[in-house]
Structure 1
Amino acid sequence: MSELCLSFLFLLFISIPLKVTSQDINADRNVLLNLKQQLGNPPSIQSWTSSSSPCDWPEIKCTANNSVTEVNLRDKNITVPFPPTICDLKNLTLLDLAFNYIPGEFPPLYNCSKLQTLDLSQNYFVGPIPDEIDRFSSLVYLDVGANNFSGNIPPSIGRLSNLQTLYMYQNLFNGTFPREIGNLSNLEVLGLAYNEFSPMRIPQEFAQLTKLSYLWVAQTNLIGEIPESFNNLSSLQHLDLSRNNLEGPIPNRLFSLNLTIVYLFNNKLSGEIPRPVEAMNLLEIDLSMNNLTGSIPEDFGKLQYLDFLNLYSNQLTGELPASIGLLPALRDFRVFRNNLTGVLPPEFGLHSKLEGFEVSQNQFSGQLPANLCAGGVLQGMVAHTNNLSGEVPKSLGNCRTLRTFQLHNNRFSGEVPQGLWTTFNLSTLMLSNNSFSGELPSELAWNMSRVEISDNRFSGEIPATVAYWTNLVVFEASNNLFSGRIPKEITNLSSLTTLLLNGNDFSGELPSEIISWTQLTVLDISNNKLSGAIPAAIGSLPDLGSLDLSENQFSGEIPLGIGNIRLTSLNLSSNQLVGRIPSQLDNLAFENSFLNNAGLCADDPTVKLPDCNSELRESKGLSSRYLAIILTFAILISLAILVLSFFIVRDYRRKKHRRYLTTWKLTSFQRLDFTEGNILSNLTDNNLIGSGGSGKVYRIIINPSKQSVAVKKIWNSKKLDYNLEKEFLAEVEILGSIRHSSIVKLLCCISSEDSKLLVYEYMENHSLDKWLHGNKKSSVSGAGSVYHTILDWPTRLQIAIGAAQGLCYMHHECPTPIIHRDVKSSNILLDSEFRAKIADFGLAKMLTRHASSHTMSVVAGSFGYLAPEYAYTTKVNAKVDVYSFGVVLLELVTGREANNIDQNKNLVEWAWHHFSEDKPIAEILDPELRESSYLEEMIMVYKIGIVCTRASPSTRPSMKEVLHALRSCCPEDGHGTKKKVSNIDAAPLLGSATGTYLSSYKNSKKGSKEDNNMIYDV
């Protein structure tokens, strides 16, 4: 009996834990299924079913006894607030909600008492970090980066004593971060970067973080000096204090740290770089983009493990220590944009495997080191804009790993090593403004896309094998000694965008097969001895914007097709051309384009040419007797017409008055509180507020509360104008069918047999151009008073975002996409709070969903805002609006008009010219705003405008991308939502346009650079 009892008890004790385990797993499954329902049953977690164990679900991890401990919902497209019921999982230690769209405030998960890892990054959380954050007493890892949290970081966060990793980067914090963070004795990783904190110094208490190995506080508005106490951070391996306002010297003892990476760029540090003590473990030093002065310390040469030395964009002086060239581990060396002098240490590359060597824009003299590629891995050799001389070392001609080679603006001479032209990976060869000699090679590297050899002494002919240089995009060979014919094989280079052969001794005819240059934007073959006719195919080059054929011997007539190209620059001077110029070129923009061509004339000469018609009249030689007879008959006929006109006009007015009373028709698109009588009775000159090419605009008060509407009177003539009727129908079709807060509201249209009226909501602040340029236009009513007020930058940015929202809606959100085709500052209207709305849709076109472009029968739009492709092709797409909007952005940041800027340049040409010369961007900004605190945002919008006005439509961004980039420039997204994406989010949009090295840390939480390759400072 006793054995039976023992067996029973044994089975009982075994069954109890099984039962408990079964109950726990069922309870956890119910919690998770309830959570799934509260999240709206997202498709990403459809594997969560009642018929399976949670421990089998891919997002769940359990303990050995099947208790749920980890829930990973990263990137599951969650779009609703996250419920706190998750804390009913009693053993939960990890919760990962990163990369979703979760809105709301910091989730109240304090009942998750065992939680050790909480990742809320890359969501839409808003509001402050709660003071109760210390209730997560078990947390080891906390990441709230890339959200919209704001305010201060609470001091209570310093009581999370177990915390080892704290990421709070890229939010909207605008208060302070607490010195109590220094109490986190176990902290190893701290990331506060990319927040607009109030100006503050680095807390001295941070020196207590003795276990800290990673400190990332970039762009957080730090001021003051780097604390000397940082030498206490004995475990520090990565220090990033970049993009702040730090000042003073770098602490002497900083180099004694066991650092892996030191990033201190884009600050305002001053003083000389102190002499570092010997630090054998230093691998990477980056002190770039500061205001550092003095010489580079000799002790840098003692850093035997130094892999990366980055000191560019400072004001360093003196010579490079020769010991740096002896470093055995040096891989990247960048000291460009300083004031360094002397010779480059000849040992460079001989003792280490150099990958990047960038010393441009200094005052170095002497020769290039001969062993830069001795390690066989050199990718970038950038030494332009110095005083270097001698010949290029032949060893560089055998460097197969080179990708870019830039020696322009120096004093080099001799022939270029033959192997350099054909080195396997080379894509950029820039040798302009030296004294190189020799001939072009018969072969070129397969990947070569850019060859710039202008202002040298190269000679001979362009070889026929140029046909095989098929990847060439830019070929600049101006001002050399080339001769012979321009070979027809050069027309095989279909990827060319820039071809400069001016200032040589070429002769013969220009090849007629140039129709293959479909991507060419700049062609300059001036100042040669070319003859024959100008090829008609030039008129069919779709992207050509600049054409210079001057100082040659071209003859015959100008091809009519050239008039159809939307050229921004044209010079056909000093040739032997004859006949009429194309009528499209007869305007002041080209008044100096035809000088010294004795046989040219114009039909209606605006340019400096004879009148073709006057010569024709002289050739007819009409006698004075015939002229007298004709004049007599003309007088008699005029008298008869005058008498008849009196009776016709009288009858017309009577009929018109009867029609006016009886034939008006009102078509409503909104709910109205007025009638057509209110409108028609007030179309008087007293209410006239503007006029344009398609009619007049009136402001009419429609009720006793002084509410107004704007009325556009399209035309008023007995004979209907076909084009104006098309504009009327277009505006009615489009505005009558769309609704958006950033598009002007069409209330109704009123039409009769001979007059059409459009009635809009009234925009109190009129158009943007009156506020930007009204005080410069005497014709604008009130220009000397109201419009002289300066729009501040936040208002301008609000206007840009509002207009972008309207265009984005038209391009991407309308059931049938719409191209406006006449985007300009005068068609952006402003309400009483300066909210922008797109107006004037008379030229707009609707597109089908299946068409990426649309055929336009005529060119339409406004000079200065027209995209280059608009005039030379009937196929246009939404990128014409992007170009025009880019012009508006340039108007907003510069305060200048779209036309007549400087030396007959329009705004786009002027801005691009300034940009291409690498001048300080601040110089181009509106003088009224240069001293504002928004300089960085203005520069970013300027760059967005530059990107939008690229010559090739395919390289312009979409309006959706433009809107995203603009929203990244301000703390509000245009709807009042505090959603800020750091300026670095505009990097994908801007990087290829500016050539600037834009790093993004959004998805790189350890702060390492996305690209450790060469900057290749062009």
Structure 2
Amino acid sequence: MSKTPPPLRLSLLLFVLISLPLIVISQSTDQSILLKLKAQWGNPPSIQSWNPSSSPCDWPEVNCTNGAVTGLSLRNMNITKRIPATLCELLSLTELDLSWNYIPGGFPSFLYNCSNLKVLDLSQNYFVGPIPADIDRMSPSLKYLDLGGNNFSGDIPAAIGRLTELRTIRLYMNLFDGSVPREIGNLSNLEIFEMPYNGKLAASRIPTEFGNLKNLKNLWMTQTNLIGEIPESFSGLSSLKHLNLARNNLEGKIPAGLFLLKNLSELLLFYNKFSGEIPKAVEALSLSQIDLAMNNLSGSIPQDFGKLKNLTVLNLYSNRLTGGIPESLGLIPAMREFRVFKNMLNGSLPPELGLHSEVEAFEVSENQLSGSLPEHLCSRGVLQGAVVFSNNLTGGLPKGLGNCDSLRTLQVYNNHFSGEVPFGVWTGLSLSSLMLSDNSFSGQLPASKLAWNLSRLEISNNRFSGEIPVHVSSWERMVVFKASGNLLSGKIPVELTNLSQLNTLLLDGNQLSGDLPSQIMSWESLNTLNLSRNTLSGYIPAAIGSLPDLLYLDLSGNQFTGEIPAEFGRLRLTSLNLSSNKLSGQIPDVFDNLAFENSFLNNPNLCASTRILNLPSCYTNMSASHKLSSKVLAMILVLSITVFVVTVLLTFFIARDYRRRKRCQDLSTWKLTSFQRLDLTQFSVLANLTDDNLIGSGGSGKVYQVSTNCPGEFVAVKRIWNTNKLDERLEKEFVAEVEILGTIRHSNIVKLLCCISSDNSKLLVYEYMANQSLDKWLHGKRRKLASGMGLARHVVLDWPTRLQIAIGAAQGLCYMHHDCSPPIIHRDVKSSNILLDSEFKARIADFGLAKILAKEGDQHTMSTIAGSIGYMAPEYSYTMKINEKIDVYSFGVVLLELTTGREPYCGDEHTGLAEWAWRLYSEGKTITDALDEEITEPCYLEEMATVLKLGLICTSTLPSTRPSMKEVMHILRGYGPSEGFEVKKVGRDFDISPLLGAATYLASYKRSKKVDDSLVYSV
């Protein structure tokens, strides 16, 4: 056994004795500096672990080497004050991360004194002003610099090119308005250069000097106002892996050398002005993503693309490509997303597509393709979207689609398909959109239940026959049902009137007969009804006149008789057609104007009070016998009314006596659980659950207004379960709402006063919201609401009120996400679940779908999909993994509603509001064009535009790019009142424009090869 020589042991001992005091002194000094730093920051709660009784090396945010502080990781610590110069007294500091805080002020030039700094991350803060022109005075050993997500402006200094040790520069999402300095090309060690979403930069070319960056691996310059061509020198970037120059104004041909770079894995050049053909020779066999969409490319798809065995995403849509699709693309084993829609491609589709790879998105619409659909598209069971409309495709739908449980949307309209639709397509577990119109499909609609989540069914202009099945009542989520121009027969089933979310119903041009169902009050959301060109008969139901949102009504070409119901006068129709029927009597006066001159043609027995519409006058040739018989008619009328009144009174007293006895018998079975002091009893609540007190209804029950023992005060009672048979889903909703609302208190969350339950009924009693829900004020129901409140004129919420509502709702959600332990996810945020008190202060309501997370940040998978059409985040409907970002998406839709005035599912014919707003922005349209015309006061335009942009960011397709509710609230409060909010206001100079565009591709370099965040359907 060897021994350490005595002289060496003595040397080691002396070294330890000398070093130990230095280490102790260093720790002590660094501790005092950090405690001083903490005090200067106002002792934020996030770093409470910093205390004099422990070593700084034991604090979780501090890294030490040999007892000296070398690194500070203070990411997302709610720091709201400037950085103190004290920081650079940490002499050994090499790494500093202050990202995702709220730090204001200009660039902290005192950091020049941090002489050993190698890593500096100041991203996602509120820094303003220019980056200093002498930034090269920073530590010469600086390797990592991240200033992204701030409000830096002016030029990017050329001096940055003298920090020769830099490996990484990130300058994304700022307000720079100069140009990109060519001096960056001098950084021979640079590996990552990212500065996307700097749309205010001056139009400039890509510096040719960038071709000197031989070690460059990532170059990301999306939306930086680049013009001209890609320099040929880029062909020499041998280390390049990721190139993203999307959303610029680049033009010319794509350099052929890019496709020869051996290490290139991602080539993203979409949304530019490139022209010419795609280079034919492809030797970059590492390519996994190619996105050349939305350019002016011509020619054919290169055959060599079939060699790219690692290719997962191929986006070539919206170009001018011709020729066929190479069959070799169907053999690529890694292919997941294939999008070539909106070109001029012809020929047949690769027959083996989907057989060798897990294809998730297949979009080839708007081409000239022929032949049949690939038989194996869903052979791996992961296909989520097949979008092939507007081609010349023939044959039947592949049988494999009938077993495709992952399929969310199937859009094959405007082709030449024929035969029967595979039964499994109708009943798919995940299917939400089925669009088969304008083909030659035949057969009948299935007699069994359709896909439980189906919200859009379009089968117009085919050869479907038979009756509409009574199982139509199971289509609970149906929003659009279009079945025009088929051979459907029989009566319209009364079950169809139970679809409360139905927005559009088109059954024109069929062989339907019989009377219309008279009870259609569930169609409260219906705005388009077309039943023309059938053989329907009988009277037109008066209940149609009570549909609050109806705008388009066409009952022409039938055999309706009798009078036009007087209730039609309540409608605010933009289009009405009752022509070619057998109607008689006087038309309602509201239609007696030239706007409806073609609405009543070919009804010989109709008349009007005037001759404006060229109809006979209802007062012509009135004979004397009519006048003489008026006395007799009056006597009969009086007698009939007397008999009716006596009968009603007797019935009322008998029924009231019975109900009182019944309530007394059943009262003992009710249990009241109170959460605070009440001025009511369960008897007083139960006695007032009558139709006269009904103020709303939804998917899980009805809501009543009930008076308390205090005059003029009310409560709202929600009856969410009323059945003699156990309903497990509604029982869970009841438990969820009581569990959540009974334990939390916040001024922007509706108060649960008590719950009342029995074996077959569950009641929740809330504070009463005098102004009901936000959706009634924003959309078509506000006229009805204003009328019900005694307001004589059309009432529109002004912008300050809308902003107040947005801030209040954001505060409620922020409390749920960030201040509750564990966090609470609502899962059904929408304008109808935002209630308004008498002062229009917002409360979040309806927690029947809420989910409490076990641990902060966890993702939970739900067994069923919950939420509402138009508000659901795209990832939720197919992954069913939930976190706080699904609420952020839904709240973003609410912000879009507040700013545009549009309804969530009314973007246009095929899209929701979020998709419509994003497309409007991506097409370069002016933001102010989308704002609600009824409230566009000039002094509020800037605020409204900013909130609309915030709504866009919240509805980003990628969850990772959406802000947290704390950040959303922080931005909103920059434009509203600030009382009770700890973080300083953003201020009106805060510009979130650079964030736009990042919402889809901010995380593109960090995403895994498995694309599970989004699908970009061509509609």
Within 2, Cα distance between the matches of 1:851 and 1:604?
50
Partner of 1:35: 37
Give how far 1:82 is off: 2.2
Within 2, Cα distance between the matches of 1:73 and 1:452?
53
Classify the secondary structure of the residue corresponding to 1:25. helix
Classify the secondary structure of the residue corresponding to 1:942. helix
Note if 1:194 corresponds to 2:229: no
Contact 2:197 2:995 in 1 (8 A): no
Contact 2:808 2:842 in 1 (8 A): no
Cα distance change on mapping 1:242 and 1:911 into 2, 3 Å: closer
* Paired AA for residue 72 in structure 1: S
Note if 1:847 corresponds to 2:839: yes
Contact 2:802 2:898 in 1 (8 A): no
Cα distance change on mapping 1:572 and 1:57 into 2, 3 Å: farther
Cα distance change on mapping 1:46 and 1:482 into 2, 3 Å: same
Partner of 1:866: none
Note if 1:1000 corresponds to 2:987: no
Partner of 1:170: 173
For residues 786-840 of structure 1, give each alpha carbon's deviation from its aligned partner in whole angstroms, at most 9, with x where no partner exists: xxxxxxxxxxxxxxxxx9864555656799x9xxxxxxxxxxxxxxxxxxxxxxx
Give how far 1:484 is off: 0.5
Within 2, Cα distance between the matches of 1:247 and 1:338?
19
Note if 1:456 corresponds to 2:458: no
Within 2, Cα distance between the matches of 1:357 and 1:881?
32
Find 1:323's aligned residue among 328, 336, 359. Answer: 328
Contact 1:261 1:283 in 2 (8 A): yes
Partner of 2:106: 105
Classify the secondary structure of the residue corresponding to 2:276. coil
Within 2, Cα distance between the matches of 1:576 and 1:48?
85
Partner of 2:948: 962
Find 1:495's aligned residue among 489, 494, 501. Answer: 501
Find 2:486's aligned residue among 480, 488, 495. Answer: 480
Give how far 1:463 is off: 1.4
Give how far 1:276 is off: 2.0
Structure-2-length-normalised TM-score: 0.65
Find 1:287's aligned residue among 277, 288, 292. Answer: 292
Classify the secondary structure of the residue corresponding to 2:113. coil
* Paired AA for residue 477 in structure 1: A
Give how far 1:52 is off: 3.7
Classify the secondary structure of the residue corresponding to 1:247. strand
Contact 2:437 2:460 in 1 (8 A): yes
Give how far 1:591 is off: 4.3
Find 1:230's aligned residue among 234, 248, 257. Answer: 234
Note if 1:209 corresponds to 2:201: no
For residues 347-397 of structure 1, give each alpha carbon's deviation from its aligned partner in whole angstroms, at most 9, with x where no partner exists: 322333322211100111222222222333222211101111222222332
* Paired AA for residue 119 in structure 1: D
Note if 1:981 corresponds to 2:992: yes
Note if 1:447 corresponds to 2:439: no
Note if 1:547 corresponds to 2:547: no
Classify the secondary structure of the residue corresponding to 1:515. coil
Within 1, Cα distance between the matches of 2:35 and 2:82?
16
Cα distance change on mapping 1:978 and 1:620 into 2, 3 Å: same
Contact 2:949 2:992 in 1 (8 A): no
Classify the secondary structure of the residue corresponding to 2:390. coil
Residue identity (%): 55
Within 2, Cα distance between the matches of 1:920 and 1:386?
24
Find 1:129's aligned residue among 122, 128, 131. Answer: 131
Partner of 1:260: 265
Cα distance change on mapping 1:814 and 1:288 into 2, 3 Å: closer
Within 1, Cα distance between the matches of 2:106 and 2:310?
47
Within 2, Cα distance between the matches of 1:254 and 1:370?
35
Q: CA RMSD in A?
A: 4.3
Within 1, Cα distance between the matches of 2:281 and 2:587?
70
Classify the secondary structure of the residue corresponding to 1:514. coil
Structure-1-length-normalised TM-score: 0.65
Give the alignment of 1:235-384 within 5 angstroms.
235-257=239-261, 258-384=263-389
Partner of 2:84: 83
For residues 890-943 of structure 1, give each alpha carbon's deviation from its aligned partner in whole angstroms, at most 9, with x where no partner exists: 9xxxxxxxxxxxxxxxxx999968999999999x99xxxxxxxx9965344434
Partner of 1:595: 601
For residues 472-510 of structure 1, give each alpha carbon's deviation from its aligned partner in whole angstroms, at most 9, with x where no partner exists: 222110111101001112223223222111111101111
Give how far 1:235 is off: 1.6
Give how far 1:222 is off: 1.3
- How many equivalent residue pairs? 733
Partner of 1:682: none
Contact 1:432 1:452 in 2 (8 A): yes
Within 2, Cα distance between the matches of 1:33 and 1:917?
50
Give how far 1:521 is off: 2.5
Partner of 1:406: 411
Cα distance change on mapping 1:210 and 1:484 into 2, 3 Å: same
Within 2, Cα distance between the matches of 1:102 and 1:598?
76
* Paired AA for residue 93 in structure 2: L
Give the alignment of 1:944-955 within 5 angstroms.
none
* Paired AA for residue 97 in structure 1: L
Within 1, Cα distance between the matches of 2:1016 and 2:949?
28
Within 1, Cα distance between the matches of 2:330 and 2:895?
53
* Paired AA for residue 948 in structure 2: V
Cα distance change on mapping 1:368 and 1:574 into 2, 3 Å: same
Larger radius of gyration: 1
Give how far 1:273 is off: 1.1
For residues 167-216 of structure 1, give each alpha carbon's deviation from its aligned partner in whole angstroms, at most 9, with x where no partner exists: 10111111111112122222221111111322222222212222222111
Contact 1:386 1:410 in 2 (8 A): yes
Find 1:120's aligned residue among 111, 119, 122. Answer: 122
Note if 1:524 corresponds to 2:530: yes
Within 2, Cα distance between the matches of 1:585 and 1:58?
74
* Paired AA for residue 326 in structure 2: P
Find 2:540's aligned residue among 531, 534, 537. Answer: 534
Note if 1:155 corresponds to 2:151: no
For residues 541-561 of structure 1, give each alpha carbon's deviation from its aligned partner in whole angstroms, at most 9, with x where no partner exists: 333332222222223333344
Contact 1:170 1:1002 in 2 (8 A): no
Classify the secondary structure of the residue corresponding to 1:292. strand
Contact 1:592 1:608 in 2 (8 A): no
Partner of 1:389: 394
Within 2, Cα distance between the matches of 1:402 and 1:37?
56
Classify the secondary structure of the residue corresponding to 1:318. coil
Partner of 1:770: none
* Paired AA for residue 207 in structure 1: G
For residues 10-60 of structure 1, give each alpha carbon's deviation from its aligned partner in whole angstroms, at most 9, with x where no partner exists: 999766544433332332232223222322333333333334433333332
Give how far 1:1007 is off: 8.0
Cα distance change on mapping 1:240 and 1:113 into 2, 3 Å: same
* Paired AA for residue 28 in structure 1: D
Classify the secondary structure of the residue corresponding to 2:184. helix
Classify the secondary structure of the residue corresponding to 2:471. helix
Contact 1:804 1:963 in 2 (8 A): no
Within 2, Cα distance between the matches of 1:619 and 1:963?
70
Contact 1:808 1:959 in 2 (8 A): no
* Paired AA for residue 229 in structure 2: E
For residues 440-472 of structure 1, give each alpha carbon's deviation from its aligned partner in whole angstroms, at most 9, with x where no partner exists: 112322222221100111111111222223332
Structure 1 range deviating more: 394-403 or 586-595: 586-595
Give the alignment of 1:550-561 within 5 angstroms.
550-561=556-567
* Paired AA for residue 172 in structure 1: L
Within 2, Cα distance between the matches of 1:235 and 1:881?
44
Query: Unaligned 5+ residue runs, structure 1?
Result: 1-5, 623-802, 818-843, 854-878, 891-907, 926-933, 950-956, 988-997
Contact 2:899 2:947 in 1 (8 A): no
Cα distance change on mapping 1:849 and 1:201 into 2, 3 Å: closer
Classify the secondary structure of the residue corresponding to 1:110. helix
Contact 1:807 1:959 in 2 (8 A): no
Contact 2:808 2:843 in 1 (8 A): no
For residues 961-996 of structure 1, give each alpha carbon's deviation from its aligned partner in whole angstroms, at most 9, with x where no partner exists: 43746999xxx99999553223654x7xxxxxxxxx
For residues 201-246 of structure 1, give each alpha carbon's deviation from its aligned partner in whole angstroms, at most 9, with x where no partner exists: 2222212222222111111111122222212211211110101111
Partner of 2:63: 61
